[in-house]
Chain A
Amino acid sequence: MAHIQLKNISKTFGNHTALTGLDLDIADGEFFVLLGETGAGKTTTLRLIAGLEKPSEGQVFIDGVDVADWGAAERDVALVLQQYSLYPRYTVRENLEFPLKPKIRRLPDAEIKDRVDRAARTLRIEHLLDRKTDRLSGGEMQRVSIGRAIVRKPRVFLMDEPLSALDAKLREALRTELKNLQMQLGATFLFVTHDQIEAMSMGDKVGVLNHGRIVQTGTPHEIYNNPRDTYVASFVGSPPMNLIDGKLVNGRAVMAPLNFELPFSGGAKASGATDGRPLVFGVRPEDVYLESGAPVEARVHDVENHGVEKILTLRVGDATLRATVPARTDVAIEQAVRFAWNPDKVVLFDKGSGVSLRHVG
């Protein structure tokens, strides 16, 4: 098990900059999720830790030791990829044995058998052991590749979107399984994904990566409720946070182009929310509610029924706003409704920089 630190890492490929000044600290036994869009540098970060790439600048520490000169073999990490992770031509058993047989840490045969059997039992793939890998379903394949990682008891597990290629049902099931596995092993996991639901549901900590920079690191709760900037606010959450331009006038939020006003409790006033300063108001859809006496009128633009709840798209002037309401709420498209928000939950962002006022200073 290990404590991973990246210090001021930059990585360029020719003219392309993949990572800039990246700092990351993953505690021992932590399930850390690196969240970002395609091309944000997630996989590069993973490969740097695995030793498959060398950083252009900065250092990687595993348990406090600078591993710049260590090859992939010596770092003792395990890698699970989205695909191509199993050796073709090998059976499942041979695939699971493979990581236990390199010269530098060849285990005795009895131990290999024992570990393979145990991993197979943990992942419920015992019945597949003698099958060739091309006769496996997607879920079985991914289970085997996780098995290939756990047989070795590595210092850290690196997972590069291991669930992305699977269908939704399976993804959900494996998500729970992976999380349980991690708690059972007590291992350090670095899990890379572009799926914010995976990040929120699995991570002890989440790091949001945007254009090669870490934008925010925190618990899923912090990331969700207190996003550092508008990028995080709009990337995390489904549907994402509503972001509306406006300013404060006499303690009320005035949405500039739309001409509607909402009460504002002033929780963030101390950090520079002065009257008239251009701001972006962020509010989660679940903190927007419909009420007959509420201050703003809107029209229902769209209704998405999700079973337990409905997601409404409300139209105020030219702007749209998402609201999550209980499923029993009876609304029709183009119906006029009145809404309000929960002023305590509103996050203020500086209009220019996009940074949350709570995170400034």
Chain B
Amino acid sequence: MAAVRTSSEIGFNRVAIVAVLVVTIIFLAPIYWIASTAFKPRNLATTIPPTIVFQPEISPFVKLFTKRSQMRSPPSPEEYAAAPWWERVVFDGGEKIVRDGKGQVQWSGYPSRFLNSLIIAITSTVLAVGMGTFTAYGFSRFKVKGEADLLFFILSTRMLPPVVVAIPMFLMYRAVGLNDSHVGLIILYTAFNLSFSVWLMKGFMDEIPKEYEEAALVDGYTRMEAFFKIVLPEAATGIAATAVFCFITAWNEYAFALIMTNRRAQTAPPFIPSQVGSGLPDWTVIAAGTFLFLLPVAIFTFLLRNHLLRGMSFGAIRK
């Protein structure tokens, strides 16, 4: 970098800073809107012009997490006994309040939907990225017969809008009893993300010089050990990037969640708008639900930001 900057450089810098500011504001405005609405009293949510200054309150969140009526369809004792532990945790939340004699105040459906979203998105991300990493390594390092065709087939699963197959999928899922189940959605999201994960990871794997592993092989390590000790740490950046994308896709998925689930395995995206339906929509509650829904992705991305920003940097390469 030159130590002395010319005036045109400084001018360019100023323009760049202004441009960055404008873009940032454009991107952050909707998030601010959702966040502020989530803390507004109900009567200020829809004022025109929007209310900027207000006394924030927590009531939208209280309303989001509770409901003041009977659980519409509490599980029967048999249903409860047959349910896996993670669903029982959800049921317990609802029943405990009732048993405690808190009258008709119950947990709303939101916490269980949120938990469903977490379980399904995290599991499918781990599966898609894990399988994708191994598959990409195989494609990258070994001679695979018909490699180009296979990779094309893998990619071709993304060539049509997923909703096209929604109805057949629904029928198939119903036939095998996978509808409204966590496993069903996990399989679905893993399948969606796998092609993406394989392709992305293949790119990252190709970037890692095979000399590293060969050195490890010669040093007496097995292919597996070399993979875990050398390749995986090198691929961390790629894995992080792939994981963020897969997580966002699975977390935000709406159409299939709406069609395939209705209660037990329902995720947050179809649940939040379903609250609009009854009576006058309370936008503050919907904003609160949406605001909380944004947080996991934001946190996840924030935690991995170093991996995402730092390009592929290999310490010992000299060209």
Contact = CB atoms under 8 A, between A and B. Distances in A.
Interface residues of B, number: 22
Interface string B51-67: 00000000000000000
Contacts of B209: 84
Interface string A46-90: 000011100000000000000000011101111101011111110
Interface stretch (B21-29, B161-169, B180-188, B214-222): B214-222
Interface string B196-229: 0000000000000101101111111110010000
A158 to B, nearest CB: 8
Contacts of B218: 50-52, 72-73, 75, 77-79
A275 to B, nearest CB: 56
Interface in B67-126: none
A85 B219 contact: no
A84 B220 contact: no
Contacts of A81: 211, 215
Contacts of A99: 219-220
B310 interface: no
A105 interface: yes
A83 B319 CA distance: 8
Contacts of B225: 102-103
Contacts of A71: 217
Contact of A98 (B217, B219, B315, B317): B219
B215 A85 contact: yes
30 contacts: A51-B218, A52-B218, A71-B217, A72-B218, A73-B217, A73-B218, A73-B219, A73-B222, A76-B220, A77-B218, A78-B219, A79-B214, A83-B319, A84-B209, A84-B212, A84-B317, A85-B211, A87-B212, A87-B216, A87-B230, A88-B234, A88-B315, A99-B220, A102-B220, A103-B222, A104-B220, A105-B220, A132-B315, A134-B315, A141-B318
Given A73-B221, A79-B218, 5 more contacts: A52-B218, A78-B218, A81-B215, A88-B317, A141-B316
Interface of A: 50-52, 71-73, 75-79, 81, 83-89, 98-99, 102-105, 132-134, 136, 138, 141, 148, 152, 165
